[in-house]
C-alpha cells in the first residue's frame, strides 16, 4: 500500500527545462561560445544534475572557468528567469486531491530533484506549495545523483517507510531508473523534451498528470 508519493521537480511539476537551457545559453555566449541545441531544442541534458551538465558543457565548449563559479553566474540568471515558470498542466488539481489523502490516509508527499534546493524552494513559494510537501531532497543531499537510487532511498529513510511503499513520478530515463533501482513503483510522464527516453523500467507510462489519482496509484500494487 502506498505510504509516500515522490515528485521529481523539473518537467514533472514545473516546465523549467526551457528556462534552464536559456540560462546555459546565455552563460556560454558570455564566454564567446555559440551553443548547439539537441533535437529537443535544449542545450543541456534532461535528467542529470547541474554539475554533471556543466562537466559535459565545459568539455564540449572548452570553458576553463571552475564549475562553482560558472554555476554561481548561471544560477543568478536562472533564478531571475524562474518568475516565468509555469506549473505543468494538471499539477494543481493533483496536489489538491493528494493533500486530501494526506489528511485522511496519512500519505506523505516529497520532492526529490537533481536541481538546487534554492531553485525548488523559490518555485514552491511562488505557487504556494509550502504546506503541501513534507520533504524536499536534492542532489546535494546525497552522495550520488540519478540514475543512482540514493535520492529516493533518502526520502524513504526520512519518512521511515519501505521503498516498495513509495511511488515516484518522473519525466526522464535517469529518474525512472533511479526510482526503479530504489525498489519503488514508478510512473513516467514523458514530455516534449524526453519523448525519446527509454521508460521501460516504469510501472506505468502516462501522458499527463491529469491521469493520476489514488485509484491509478493503488492499481500499481495489484
Q: Return the CATH number of the domain spanning residue range 4-15+86-219.
A: 3.40.50.1000
The CA-CA-CA angle for residues 16, 21, 23, to 5°, reads 95
Angstrom distances, CA of residue 144 to CA of 13, 48, 140, 148, 174: 22, 11, 9, 6, 12
pLDDT at residue 74 in the model:
93
- Whose CA is closest to 116, among 95, 141, 91? 141
Averaged confidence pLDDT in the chain? 94
pLDDT average, residue stretch 66-74? 93
Please identify which residue in the block is written with the cell numbers 535520492: 151
What's the rounded Cα separation, in Å, for the pair 56 and 155? 28
- Whose CA is closest to 77, among 27, 10, 140, 34? 27
Confidence at 41, pLDDT banded by 50, 70, 90: confident
pLDDT at residue 102 in the model:
80
Domain span(s) for CATH 1.10.150 in the chain: 17-84
Kindly report the CATH class assigned to 17-84: mainly alpha
pLDDT at residue 1 in the model:
86
Query: Which letter does DSSP use for residue 182 in this model?
Result: T
Backbone conformation region of residue 183, classed left if phi is above 0, alpha if psi is from -120 to 50, else beta = left
What's the rounded Cα separation, in Å, for the pair 55 and 63? 10
Read off the pLDDT of residues 155-186 as tens digits, 9 standing for 90 and up. 999 999 999 999 999 999 999 999 999 999 99
Domain span(s) for CATH 3.40.50.1000 in the chain: 4-15+86-219
Residue 99: all three cell numbers together: 493533500
pLDDT at 130 over 90: no
pLDDT at 103 over 80: no
- For 80-155, strand residue ranges (E) read 108-113, 135-138
pLDDT at residue 49 in the model:
83
What's the rounded Cα separation, in Å, for the pair 19 and 42? 10
Read off the pLDDT of residues 205-221 as tens digits, 9 standing for 90 and up. 999 999 999 999 999 99
pLDDT at residue 101 in the model:
82
Overall pTM > 0.85: yes
What's the rounded Cα separation, in Å, for the pair 142 and 150? 6
pLDDT average, residue stretch 175-204? 96
- Whose CA is closest to 167, among 200, 207, 216? 216
pLDDT at residue 178 in the model:
97
Confidence at 87, pLDDT banded by 50, 70, 90: very high
Amino acid at each position: 500500500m502506498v505510504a509516500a508519493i515522490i515528485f521529481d521537480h523539473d518537467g514533472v511539476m514545473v516546465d523549467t527545462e526551457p528556462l534552464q537551457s536559456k540560462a546555459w545559453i546565455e552563460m556560454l555566449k558570455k564566454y564567446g561560445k555559440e551553443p548547439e541545441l539537441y533535437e529537443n531544442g535544449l542545450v543541456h541534458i534532461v535528467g542529470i544534475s547541474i554539475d554533471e551538465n556543466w562537466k559535459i558543457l565545459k568539455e564540449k565548449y572548452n570553458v576553463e572557468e571552475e564549475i562553482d563559479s560558472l554555476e554561481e553566474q548561471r544560477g543568478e540568471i536562472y533564478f531571475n528567469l524562474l518568475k516565468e515558470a509555469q506549473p505543468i498542466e494538471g499539477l494543481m488539481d493533483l496536489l489538491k486531491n493528494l493533500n486530501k489523502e494526506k489528511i485522511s490516509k496519512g500519505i506523505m508527499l516529497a520532492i526529490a530533484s537533481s536541481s538546487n534546493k534554492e531553485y525548488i524552494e523559490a518555485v514552491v513559494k511562488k505557487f504556494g506549495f509550502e504546506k503541501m510537501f513534507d520533504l524536499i531532497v536534492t542532489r546535494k543531499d546525497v552522495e550520488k545523483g540519478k540514475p543512482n537510487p540514493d535520492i529516493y532511498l533518502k526520502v524513504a529513510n526520512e519518512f521511515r517507510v519501505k521503498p516498495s511503499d513509495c511511488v515516484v513520478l518522473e519525466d526522464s530515463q535517469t529518474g525512472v531508473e533511479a526510482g526503479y533501482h530504489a525498489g519503488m513503483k514508478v510512473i513516467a510522464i514523458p514530455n516534449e523534451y524526453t519523448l525519446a527516453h527509454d521508460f521501460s523500467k516504469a510501472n506505468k507510462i502516462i501522458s499527463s498528470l491529469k491521469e493520476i489519482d489514488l485509484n491509478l496509484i493503488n492499481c500499481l500494487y495489484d
